[in-house]
Structure 1
Amino acid sequence: MRPFLLALLAATALSGCTLAPRYERPELPVGQAWPVTAEAAPSAGVPAADLAWRDVFQDARLQSTIALALEQTRDLRVAVANIARARAEYRIQRADLLPAINAVGAGERARTPASVSQTGRAETIEQFSVSAGFAAYELDLFGRVQSLSAAALQSYLATEENRRTVQISLIAETANAYLTLAADRDLLKITQDTLASREAAYDLSRKRFEAGATSELDLRQAQTLTEQARSDAAVATAQVNRDLNALRLLVGAEVPAELLPQGGLATIAVRPDIAAGLPSDVLVARPDVLSAERALRAQNANIGAARAAFFPRISLTGSTGTISPELGDLFGAGARSWSFAPQIVLPIFSGGANIANLRGAEASRDAALAQYEKAIQTAFREVSDALAVRATITERVSAQGRLVEAATATQRLTQARYDSGVDGYLALLDAQRTLYAARQSLLASQLAEAANRVELYRALGGGG
């Protein structure tokens, strides 16, 4: 028993060092400021990472839809399952730091025939044993096992960050799909209203033509606009159905009718005052960037394991127990037994395998570094693009709103001039087309504004 305990104490005392390079976070391969105006990237306000998604998406129906997506979607289930698998792999690797102790019970009965027996008589031998011990436990003198355990830990943590990435993306995609559905429902209403007004105008033109008060050209122009609006209404109806299908796919289940948009795009509140902060604070907090950094740290730890392969490996095998030729005397006095078998393996020649493994580990570290820098640069561009849109989107929406007001007034005045015979029908048709297009453009700009807020939440690494 004493050698067994001494071996365990030696393993605990000698293990703990590592040959892995000291890790330092690389410099950010991007600028220290966003390439936009200060108004578009305000530092005041709440950082996106500190905002729960319910604080950003404040509409009750949208919140319920996002919650349903987080509960039902298969992509998030896959991410959670990957976390469980990575956690299990880390625990398996970490278990190698401690000896695996097993209890073994054995019994043997053997017969030796008289022709080969030393006594000239047939002999039957019985032996029974019970022992507890460990086999081939490696003393981690140079940190090989510890480095492998550290790499497994970083891989597990990277998988957790991947789950956060999937969750944030799912929230943003669901919100965008919901907003798009609301906007397309508004567009359908615009086309239906336009169709109704043009059908009334066409009916009036037909009656005036039959009475001889207008030309056939006016009648056919009115018919052309009517059929165009009818076609637009059919396209808008199909688009709304496609939006519903996209939302169902994201949610992973049928979306209850009471959760669908009810009051139009303008009634769905999305928080506008998300602070951009500094690139050095924002980018390193994004889960995809953190995942890339975890992968880099894992490859850095693998270099330590590859370096340790050049040094001797010491393994211990030991056990203690009892042995007896009679089962009844197995636990009797004098039946104790023990064994202790240390082994040292010194690499002398491996055909360059150890050098190749080290170079491979270093190359993997360099590739992970490049991936980390690419993740930083991609995040920087996404945030910059979102801020560039935010810098002008308010002005765009305001301009489109004024355009609709002007086009509405123009259409009203042109209608009055046409009714009084001052202008021809062509001027009225042009005013109607302008108003129709202006209303569509205003709706598109309002959707772009809402989508930009969603994109800022995602690009800035919004909270869960």
Structure 2
Amino acid sequence: MTRLLLALSLAAPLLAGCAVGPDYVTPDFGVPNSWSSDRGRPAPALKLAQWWHNLADPQLDQLITEAVGGNLDVASAKARIREARATQRQAIGALFPSISGTGSATETRSASSSTGGVAIGPTTYSQYQAGFDSSWELDLFGANRRAAEAASYGVDAADDDLRATLLTLIGDVASNYIDARAYQARVALAKRTAASQRETAALTERKQNAGSASAVDTAKANALAASTEATIPTYESSYQQAVHRLGVLLGRDPTALSLRLSRATVIPSPRLPLPKGIPADVLVMRPDVRKAERQLAQYTAKIGQATAALYPDVSLSGTVSTSALKLGDLGKSSTIGWSIGPSLSVPIFNGGKLQAAVEVAEAQRDQYHVAWQSAVLSALEDVENAIVNLAQERIRIRSLTESARRYSEAARLSRSLYETGSSTFLDVLDAERSQFTAEDSLLASRATLAKDYVALAKALGGGWTGAIDSSVPIVVDDNTGPHLAQTVVARSPKRFSEEIKPSP
């Protein structure tokens, strides 16, 4: 036994570095050297830190800050980080010996007996025992080390999941805020245009009374004004929905921001272009791509964990115990016993279950490898689409600006000529309808341009760059130590539904 223990103690350090299964190597994915819009030109360095400041809207900046602190998806992602870290500590704990203490106290009463014809009455005695049990899995083939490695990659993936959640959150807050401001502007435009069209209808009615216009012209003028007014409820509804979504994104009541955003302001517009860097930057900037790569590493390590089960498992266990008839004699004049020795477990026949587990792990690794490749391609596609959309929307907005200016001038001139009788009402009607359509399209295009800017920042991986504390639990429990159990009476769903049923 002494020789065996000595051999194990000498061999354990040598075998500590032994592991089975593949070692993870970061895969290489060939990406273009530049974006399609930068071909033949040097790429500017990527700059995404607090990109939303380029929209020049202090209220949007404040909403994003509040959303980062109050959003429920962010809170859930923080909890997943704490879960991953606790899982990692569990996996690391398996690398060390475990020691547990035992103790017992028994009171024994023996029955009456006789010895040599002499009757002996019942006797009572006490016995106390205490001891320690320990065990240590030597992990000769690295199963526990692979588990700890996989858990470490899981922590990295959880961190990137939080960053991905923040990236999506900031983009959603910015997009919904832009929508809210755009719909406010479109409501104001519709009200101004309808009021102007009502004035034209009143003028037409006066001309009808004077005999220089027909009832048809008056009816068409009022119909055009009513048609413009009909767009207002639709825009108001869309505005309210955007405000409600912002409230929920901030982790608050849907109507919490109604009063705060009631005063209309201009639609946010990007002041500066966004430096796009090179496609390779996406691999390190996009948190969803990083998360996919860490998950690939995690499941590669799990192959080694499953493979190690095919090999012998050696553990070292020991026990120390002491017993005495008096509690005070424990450790002094008590009986002390101990045992120590190795145990060996060798898989001989398991119907192919262990090998199948390895193949399952390999198949899972392949799935995550494909998922990583898909994440990279999706990221590249997102950036290219955002670049094209932003560039084309800039061209479109220039044309719409010119169109709105021309139609505004045409409407003013046709109205003046109509007042003097030098133009027909059909010209006024067509000019006012076209003016409203052009100006409304221009406002929608400005919002689309700002949202395309947001989409490009998201596609490049622009998110929250500040520190995030994920160590504080969301729910803090009280009285978690030993205490008297309380009886909890659960209500049935039927009873609960009856309680909340509205009264007639």
TM-score computed with the length of structure 2 as normaliser: 0.83
* 1:203 paired residue number: 202
Q: What is the identity, as a one-letter code, of the residue corresponding to 2:178?
A: L
State the partner residue of 2:171: 172
Instruction: Tell me the equivalent position of 1:440.
Output: 440
Equivalent in the alignment of 1:412: 412
Look up the match of 2:364: 364
**Partners of 2:456 and 2:162 in 1: CA distance:** 19
1:400-451 deviations in whole A, cap 9, x for unaligned?
A: 1111111122222222332332321101111111111110111111111100
Counterpart in the other structure of 1:17: 18
Post-superposition CA distance 1:210-240 (Å, at most 9, x none): 2212111211111111111121223222222
Q: Which residue of 1 aligns with 2:323?
A: 323
Asked if the contact 1:151/1:299 (under 8 Å) is kept, the reply is yes
CA distance in 2, matches of 1:42, 1:203: 61
Q: What code does the residue aligned with 2:172 have?
A: E
Which residue does 1:310 correspond to in 2?
Answer: 310
Say whether 1:342 aligns with 2:349: no
| Correspondence 1:93-108 to 2 at 5 A | 93-108=91-106
What does residue 266 of structure 2 align with? 264
Structure 2 stretches lacking a partner, 5+ long:
465-504
Q: 1:57 to 1:394 in 2, by over 3 A?
A: closer
1:62 corresponds to:
60
Spell out the pairing of 1:387-426 with structure 2 (5 A cutoff). 387-426=387-426
Tell me which amino acid in the other structure corresponds to 2:351. G
Please tell me whether the aligned partners of residues 323 and 334 of structure 2 are also in contact (alpha carbons under 8 angstroms): no
Q: Secondary structure at the match of 1:128?
A: strand
Instruction: Indicate the larger mover: 235-244 or 155-164.
Output: 235-244
8 Å CA contact retained: 2:244, 2:257: no
**Residue 380 and residue 390 in structure 1: after superposition, are their counterparts in 2 closer, same or farther (change >3 A)?**
same
1:242 is displaced (CA, Å) by 2.1
Partner residue of 2:470? none
Q: 1:12/1:95 Cα in 2 relative to 1: closer, same or farther (>3 Å)?
A: farther
Q: Is 1:182 matched with 2:186?
A: no
Deviation (angstroms), 1:336: 4.1
In the aligned structure 1, how far is the partner of 2:216 from the partner of 2:46? Answer: 61
Relative distance call for 1:408 and 1:339 in structure 2 (3 A) is same
Letter aligned with residue 456 of structure 2: L
Aligned-residue offset at 1:123 = 6.2
Alpha-carbon separation, structure 1, partners of 2:271 and 2:343: 65
Shift of 1:393: 2.3
Q: Which runs of 5+ in 1 are unaligned?
A: none
Mapped partners of 1:12, 1:302: distance in 2: 23
CA–CA distance in structure 1, aligned partners of residues 113 and 333 of structure 2: 35
CA 1:227 to 1:269, structure 2 compared with 1: closer, same or farther past 3 Å?
closer
> Using a 3 Å threshold, how does the CA distance of structure 1 residues 117 and 262 change in structure 2: closer, same or farther?
farther
Q: Contact 2:170–2:463 (CA<8 Å) still a contact in 1?
A: no
1:247 partner amino acid: L
Q: In structure 2, the residue corresponding to 1:297 is in which secondary structure?
A: helix
CA distance in structure 2 between the partners assigned to 1:316 and 1:56 by the alignment: 63
CA contact (8 A) 2:285 2:462 kept: no
**Aligned equivalents of 1:58, 1:109: Cα separation in 2:** 81
Partner of residue 226, structure 2 = 227
Q: Per the alignment, do residues 408 and 117 of structure 1 end up closer, same or farther by CA in structure 2, a change over 3 Å counting? A: farther
Query: Relative to 1, partners in 2 of residues 1:426 and 1:399: Cα closer, same or farther, differing over 3 Å?
Result: same
Q: Deviations over 1:318-349 (max 9, x none)?
A: 13354333322112157544321321101111
Query: Which of 249, 255, 258 matches 2:257?
Result: 255
- SS of the equivalent of 2:63 reads helix
Q: Which amino acid aligns with 2:68?
A: L
Larger displacement relative to structure 2 (315-324 or 29-38) = 29-38
Q: Residues 167 and 462 of structure 2 are in contact (CA less than 8 Å); yes or no, is this contact kept in structure 1?
A: yes
Other-structure match for 1:82: 80
- Given the superposition, is the C-alpha separation of residues 116 and 105 from structure 1 closer, same or farther in structure 2, using an over 3 Å criterion? farther
Tell me how far apart the structure 2 counterparts of residues 9 and 178 of structure 1 sit (CA, whole Å).
Answer: 67
Instruction: State the TM-score, normalizing by the size of structure 1.
Output: 0.90
Q: CA deviation at 1:90?
A: 1.6
Deviation at 1:259, TM superposition (A): 5.4
Distance change >3 Å, CA 264–CA 26, structure 1 → 2: same
Q: Distance in 2 between matches of 1:13 and 1:321?
A: 32
Give distance in 1, aligned partners of 2:64 and 2:126.
70
The SS at the match of 2:37 is: coil
1:115 shift after superposition? 6.8
* CA drift at 1:75: 1.4
Change in Cα spacing, 1:335 to 1:56, as seen in structure 2 (3 Å) is farther
In the alignment, what sits opposite 2:451?
Answer: 451
Residue 241 in structure 1 maps to residue 240 in structure 2:
yes
> Deviation of residue 190 (structure 1)?
0.5
Once the two structures are TM-superposed, the CA of residue 46 in structure 1 deviates from its matched residue by 3.9
Distance in 2 between residues matched to 1:42 and 1:402, nearest whole Å? 33
Q: Aligned equivalents of 2:300 and 2:36: distance in 1?
A: 33
Distance 1:308 1:272 in 2: 56
1 or 2, which has the higher helix percentage?
1
8 A Cα contact 2:45 2:277, kept in partner: no
Identity %: 30
Q: Quick one: distance in 2 between partners of 1:408 and 1:367?
A: 58
Q: Map 1:138-177 to 2 at 5 A.
A: 138-177=137-176
Name the counterpart of 1:34: 35
Say whether residues 1:128 and 2:134 are aligned partners. no
Tell me which moved more, 438-447 or 26-35: 26-35
Distance in 1 (CA, whole Å) between partners of 2:99 and 2:208 is: 101
Q: Give how far 1:11 is off.
A: 5.5
**Are residues 281 and 46 of structure 1, via their aligned partners in 2, closer, same or farther at CA, if it must alter by over 3 Å?**
closer
State the Cα distance separating 1:134 from its structure 2 match.
1.5
Give yes or no for the alignment of 1:294 onto 2:294: yes
Tell me how far apart the structure 2 counterparts of residues 85 and 148 of structure 1 sit (CA, whole Å): 15
Q: Does 2:387 match 1:381? A: no
Q: Give the aligned residue type for 1:448.
A: T
Amino acid at match of 1:434: S
Q: State the Cα distance separating 1:21 from its structure 2 match.
A: 0.8
> Contact 2:410–2:431 at 8 Å: present in 1 too?
yes
Amino acid at match of 1:417: L
Q: Is the 8 A contact 2:309 2:354 kept in 1?
A: yes
Shift of 1:264: 1.5
SS at match of 2:36: coil
Q: Does the CA-based 8 Å contact 1:42-1:277 persist in structure 2?
A: no
Question: Which secondary structure does the structure 1 equivalent of 2:131 belong to?
Answer: strand
